[in-house]
Amino acid sequence: MENGEKHITVVDENGNEQLHEVLFTFDSDEFNKSYVLYFPVGAEEDENEEIEIQASAYVQNEEGEEGSLQPIESDEEWEMIEEMLNTFLDEEETAE
């Protein structure tokens, strides 16, 4: 995934490709992984003005080609991701 790339294609459990917009990416030294947070392109905010944000670990292919998204497997990773997301959202609100 190129830095600055704004869209990724995610294949859902039914094999359908969906275009998602990348919210932000970050690396974790603690888990030695890269993570990407994203949401469906054209997603509408629900009544709580929230969009379902998804997260995956990102594994780069050895050839330097496009990598693959891996599911988040541990509660510790989810907690760290939520913390990063909250920090990101706080900074976004402050910037407005």
User: Binning pLDDT at 50, 70 and 90, where does residue 78 land?
Assistant: very high
Task: Characterize 8-22 residue by residue with b for buried, 16 or more Cβ atoms within 10 angstroms of its Cβ, and e for exposed.
Answer: beeeeeeeeeeebee
Residue 2 has pLDDT above 50, yes or no: no
Instruction: Dig out the tokens for 26 from the structure.
Output: 């970050």
- According to the model, what pLDDT value does residue 82 have? 95
pTM (two decimals): 0.78
Domain ranges of the chain: 7-95
User: Binning pLDDT at 50, 70 and 90, where does residue 4 land?
Assistant: low
- According to the model, what pLDDT value does residue 64 have? 63
For residues 70-83, give the mean pLDDT: 95
